[in-house]
């Protein structure tokens, strides 16, 4: 049986609403499934039932179950812990058959634990801790909604039955389990959505400068100076604290004029060669992640220098653009790197030697196989992005539009990936969230500009897009 973590379930909950199934619908379905599980086991008429409800969605599930139980003739008390639990409480107040209490009575036949629906970090706090103690002292049949409250701590509800939703959760193996379908759409799991971003992108309010990511961007040459600048804007506008740009001496002055927020360092010459390797590696010692590739060019000296950097660098890397063509000649280096590769279809062929099929299912298989073979997360840039990890995970991203064919959007994307990695997201998750955010920013621009926007516009839209999908964190 497939297992998912409580964190993954929170992601699915948020993504479901994004993909068309509101959380209120999931709550209604969840509460009814708890009721149905009890109806299969008991004659409910005149049964005395206590429903302990917390203040979140799990409490809402309990309210729905209470409503169905009264309809079956049960005598139901709802015990509220803390403030009233969202909009479902308004429905409960109108049901005269349900008693809403602040304290529990004795001699219940059944107790429903709808206090906390996810695993916790650390120990239970009041009033949940005392509620769990009271529940466990009771002789009643105990049912937990989704997971027993307190699972993961030293004290949790000793549930006789757990009605869990969508898939088996880790940590429930010792309980009697019913896995119930509550209507989560398949896209919520197979596609990246705002849940991936909101659950993973968190910040300690006590953090200081540098704690939320320092990124090195290695790019540019005598032919291109804008690409690393776009990556750097992608880094800063997606939340990293500091960005360093390592550019050839010929690009130094123009690069440093773009923003006072950039920390620009130079190495000799008009393009990356062996003379720049030591400078890059020295800067990398002070960074959490590096982007290498945007605008580097394809000189043989540059390819050799890229391979030398990747051979010695000690931090995670995003390998993009021209660096993908270099690593194609040194793929064995990926075995020791913590890397995200960001090719489009043409770069993917150069990197792997494989043509990508127009058949989408075949394309997914190839990407996943190569991620495992190369030991790297792969973000294939396409109308529907495919993100795969070396450990077998895969997600799709459908944000974005045809306006994003404009030059530089991939450079911005590479910067976002590195920014999220520097903010402590692991590579696959960082790639998923970056693809979603980059495309979503483009979609916001399309609403006002149609297809006529630039990569710089996308970088500028990133803060609003990220805040939109993580508003609950601020």
Query: What is the distance between the alpha carbons of residues 279 and 290, in angstroms, rounded to a whole number?
Result: 14
Altogether, the residues listed in the chain come to a count of 474
Query: What is the distance between the alpha carbons of residues 48 and 171, in angstroms, rounded to a whole number?
Result: 29
With a cut of 90, say whether residue 372 has pLDDT above it: yes
Q: How far apart are the first and last CA of the chain?
A: 37
Q: What's the chain's average pLDDT?
A: 92
- Picking from 51-55, 238-242, 284-288, 300-304, which range would have the lowest pLDDT averaged per residue? 51-55
pLDDT confidence of residue 185: 96
Portion of the chain with pLDDT greater than 90, in percent:
81
Task: For residue 283, give both structure tokens.
Answer: 């800067």
With a cut of 60, say whether residue 474 has pLDDT above it: no
Query: What is the distance between the alpha carbons of residues 27 and 59, in angstroms, rounded to a whole number?
Result: 9
- What does the CA dihedral 248, 254, 259, 260 come to, rounded to 10 degrees? 80
With a cut of 70, say whether residue 111 has pLDDT above it: yes
> What does DSSP assign to residue 355?
P
Looking at the structure, give the CATH architecture of the domain made up of residues 3-190: 3-Layer(aba) Sandwich (3.40)
Strand, coil or helix: 209: coil
Q: Are strands 385-388 and 377-380 parallel, antiparallel or unpaired?
A: antiparallel
| Every domain of the chain and the residues it spans | 3-190, 203-473
Query: What is the distance between the alpha carbons of residues 313 and 187, in angstroms, rounded to a whole number?
Result: 37
Confidence class for position 102, pLDDT limits 50, 70, 90: low
Radius of gyration of the chain (CA): 26
Given a contact cutoff of 8 angstroms between Cβ atoms, the answer to whether 337 and 356 are in contact is: no
Query: What is the distance between the alpha carbons of residues 450 and 443, in angstroms, rounded to a whole number?
Result: 9
pLDDT confidence of residue 169: 87
Run of H or E including 374: helix 360-374
pLDDT confidence of residue 383: 96
**What's the whole-number mean pLDDT along residues 354-362?**
95
CA 194 vs. chain centroid, Å, equals 8
With a cut of 50, say whether residue 148 has pLDDT above it: yes
**pTM attached to this predicted model:** 0.92
pLDDT confidence of residue 88: 47
Given a contact cutoff of 8 angstroms between Cβ atoms, the answer to whether 317 and 231 are in contact is: no
With a cut of 80, say whether residue 265 has pLDDT above it: yes
| Structure confidence by residue, pLDDT tens digits, 300-350 | 999 999 999 999 999 999 999 999 999 999 999 999 999 999 999 999 999
Assign a CATH topology to domain 203-473.
3.40.1190
With a cut of 80, say whether residue 119 has pLDDT above it: no
């Amino acid at each position: 049986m497939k297992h998912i973590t409580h964190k993954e379930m929170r992601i699915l909950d948020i993504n479901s609403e994004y993909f068309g199934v509101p959380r209120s619908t999931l709550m209604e379905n969840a509460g009814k499934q708890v009721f149905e599980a009890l109806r299969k086991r008991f004659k409910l008429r005149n049964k005395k039932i206590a429903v302990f409800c917390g203040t979140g969605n799990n409490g809402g599930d309990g309210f729905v179950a209470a409503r169905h139980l009264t309809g079956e003739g049960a005598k139901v008390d709802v015990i509220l812990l803390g403030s009233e639990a969202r909009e479902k409480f308004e429905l409960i107040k109108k049901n005269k058959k349900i008693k809403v209490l602040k304290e529990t009575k004795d001699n219940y036949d059944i107790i429903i634990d709808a206090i906390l629906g996810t695993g916790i970090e650390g120990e239970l706090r009041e009033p949940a801790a005392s509620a769990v103690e009271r529940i466990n002292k009771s002789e009643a049949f105990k049912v937990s909604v989704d997971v027993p409250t307190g699972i993961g701590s030293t004290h949790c509800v000793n549930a006789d039955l757990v009605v869990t939703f969508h898939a088996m959760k880790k940590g429930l193996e010792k309980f009697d389990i019913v896995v119930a379908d509550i209507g989560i759409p398949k896209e919520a799991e197979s596609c990246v959505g705002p849940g991936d971003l909101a659950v993973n992108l968190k910040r300690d309010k006590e953090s200081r400068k540098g704690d939320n990511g320092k990124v090195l961007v290695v790019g540019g040459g005598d032919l291109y100076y804008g690409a690393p600048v776009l990556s750097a804007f992608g880094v800063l506008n997606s939340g990293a604290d500091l960005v360093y740009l390592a550019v050839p001496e010929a690009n130094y002055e123009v690069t440093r004029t773009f923003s006072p927020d950039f920390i620009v360092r130079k190495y000799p010459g008009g393009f990356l060669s062996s003379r720049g390797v030591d400078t890059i590696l020295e800067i990398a010692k002070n960074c959490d992640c590096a982007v290498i590739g945007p605008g580097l060019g394809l000189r043989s000296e540059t390819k050799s220098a890229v391979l030398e950097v990747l051979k010695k660098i000690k931090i995670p890397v995003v390998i993009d653009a021209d660096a993908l063509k270099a690593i194609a000649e040194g793929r064995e280096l990926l075995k020791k790197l913590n890397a995200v590769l960001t090719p489009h279809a043409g770069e993917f062929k150069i990197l792997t030697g494989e043509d990508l099929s127009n058949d989408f299912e075949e394309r997914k298989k190839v990407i996943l196989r190569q991620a495992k073979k190369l030991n790297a997360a792969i973000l294939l840039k396409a109308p529907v992005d495919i993100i795969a990890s070396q450990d077998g995970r895969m997600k799709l991203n459908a944000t974005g539009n045809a306006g994003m064919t404009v030059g530089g959007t991939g450079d911005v994307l590479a910067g976002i990936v590195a920014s999220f990695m520097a903010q402590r997201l692991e590579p696959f998750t960082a790639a998923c969230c970056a693809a979603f955010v980059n495309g979503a920013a483009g979609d916001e621009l399309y609403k006002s500009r149609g297809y006529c926007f630039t990569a710089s516009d996308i970088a500028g839209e990133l803060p609003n897009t990220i805040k939109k999908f993580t508003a609950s964190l601020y």
